[in-house]
Amino acid sequence: MYLYNSATHKKEEFQTHTPNRVEMYTCGPTVYHFAHIGNLRSYIMEDVLEKFLRYEGYDVNRVMNITDVGHLASDADTGEDKMLKGAKRENKSVMDIAKFYTDAFFDDCAKLNIKTPDVVQPATGLIDEFIRVVSALLDKGYAYVAGGNVYFDTSTLGRYYVFNDHDEEDLAVGVREGVEEDQNKRNKNDFVLWFTKSKFEDQALKWNSPWGVGYPGWHIECSCISMKFNGEYLDLHCGGVDNAFPHHTNEIAQSEAYLGHPWCAQWFHVHHLNTNSGKMSKSKGEFLTVSLLEEKGYDPLAYRFFCLQSHYRKGLVFSWENLDNAAGAYSKLIKRVAALKDGDGEVDREAAVQLKEKFLTQVGNDLNTSMGVTCLYDVLKAPVNDATKRAVLADFDRVLSLSLLDKAAELREKEAAQAKTASASGGFTIQGEGDPAIDALVLRRSEAKKAKNFAEADRIRDELKARGVEVTDVPGGAVWKRV
């Protein structure tokens, strides 16, 4: 497999520290509000990446944090604590907010067929670990105490910026323009490892530490959680492209200072989901969530399909028209899968292997999910029997997770029930080869003709023809056969 590495700015053959073992870390949500579908695009692509690695035969240990303390409104250690902001908004405790939105996040993930990571660790559960690592960074001379807070000293590093090239002059300017200056910092690009009451008197969550009562900075959480559950050598770190700086940059600085050796070899960043007005966020316009998609009648998996049609390193523009197009394509794909016959001979193992090899090559080229979707259509067009098509589609769906066979079965059951009900009430009889899905289409064509909706009747006739079905109208019903 080849993946683009954000740290080296090139596509590289994927390699691991321990053969056949992948230590994978995913930056998890800050659980102060619902995840919007832009957030979830990253988790969908990371899910496909994990499943593809498993599909290739790797033993994957995927770890994710839950940020329930320490993430301020600005990623550069300024502004209000996001968790406190959520608690004030809903007049609840911070831990109640964290529990509610953590559950909501994983409910959304389930609807999108996103696998729960092997390890999910809330930040509040590892406070002692954060204190231990911060203490070690102080002992090693990489950190200092000022104004009651503990800061990482970036001037101790040979190289701080990893994902972008910066001049030395930029180092002195600070990590973000327009950010309120912290007078405690020796260098404007230093970052907080531990806050004390000097930051917020009303902070809801706080713990005793050698530097006073306080709470951890956001960046130290991910480093410590990964080092605890992934070990000293991380193979693959994932997140949204907006996390690359300063969050991931700071993770590298503190992790490698603590460990004394290179920490993570491969960095995987998913680009933004944008609207026509710009980057999607919780504060701009309509708050687009999975629940809202469902309220508007969309299957969440249609959104997953929408994401898979684009490459993870390209910005993706969301509009209702674009989602409609994806939903329509997904629905047609399910219909084509539903038309495949059960028990149609034996699986052609040789043909299945050839199709799989193409899938491995296409998706293995920097996680090209759009080509992975194309491989589904290649299977449907392949000159093999339906048993082979169903087996290969199920195999590919271990990675793409579009629930193809399950959705197809649901469609067949629904159409069979519709045909049975209509036939019983209207006296319309259908003679064919015992395929409920075809029976349902024939019935719908008859109903369209009865309603003088000839355009719909012709569309269904063409769909039946495309499936190799010929329909003949007879008094009181219709007869169909495959030709």
Q: Which of 35-39, 251-255, 424-428 has the lowest mean pLDDT?
A: 424-428
- Is the pLDDT confidence value at 256 over 50? yes
Is there a domain that residue 363 lies in?
no
pLDDT tens digits, one per residue of 346-358: 999 999 999 999 9
Is there a domain that residue 232 lies in?
yes
In this prediction, residue 180 carries a pLDDT of: 58
Is there a domain that residue 124 lies in?
yes
CA dihedral for 272, 277, 283, 289, sign (positive or negative): negative
CA angle centred on 22, ends 349 and 379, rounded to 5°: 25
Terminal-to-terminal C-alpha distance of the chain = 43
What number is the average pLDDT over the span 18-25?
98
Q: How far apart are CA 109 and CA 287, in angstroms?
A: 17
What number is the average pLDDT over the span 423-437?
70
| Domain closes at, from 212, 244, 270 | 270
- Is the pLDDT confidence value at 463 over 60? yes
Per-residue tokens: 200? 């917020």
What number is the average pLDDT over the span 255-267?
98
Q: How many domains does the chain have?
A: 2
Is there a domain that residue 381 lies in?
no
pLDDT tens digits, one per residue of 154-192: 999 999 988 975 444 443 433 444 445 788 899 988 999
In this prediction, residue 172 carries a pLDDT of: 42
Q: How far apart are CA 302 and CA 67, in angstroms?
A: 28
Is there a domain that residue 194 lies in?
yes
Is there a domain that residue 324 lies in?
no
Domain range for 136 is 2-270
In this prediction, residue 285 carries a pLDDT of: 54
- Is the pLDDT confidence value at 317 over 80? yes
CB 303 within 8 A of CB 334: no
Q: How far apart are CA 105 and CA 113, in angstroms?
A: 12
pLDDT tens digits, one per residue of 183-203: 889 998 899 999 986 555 566
Instruction: For the chain, give the percent of residues with pLDDT over 90.
Output: 64
Q: How confident is the model at residue 210 (pLDDT cuts 50, 70, 90)?
A: very high
What number is the average pLDDT over the span 264-283?
83
| Domain closes at, from 208, 235, 270 | 270
pLDDT tens digits, one per residue of 62-119: 999 999 886 665 555 666 677 777 777 878 788 888 899 999 999 999 999 999 999 9
In this prediction, residue 361 carries a pLDDT of: 98
CB 44 within 8 A of CB 114: yes
Report pTM.
0.85
Per-residue tokens: 97? 């907010």
| Domain closes at, from 247, 270, 293 | 270
pLDDT tens digits, one per residue of 360-369: 999 999 999 9
How does the average pLDDT of the chain come out, rounded? 89
Tracing tokens 């949204």 back to the chain, one arrives at 240
CATH number of the domain where residue 117 is located: 3.40.50.620
Is there a domain that residue 169 lies in?
yes
Number of other CB atoms surrounding residue 27 within 10 Å? 23
Number of other CB atoms surrounding residue 325 within 10 Å? 14
Residue 406's SS3 state is helix
Is there a domain that residue 172 lies in?
yes
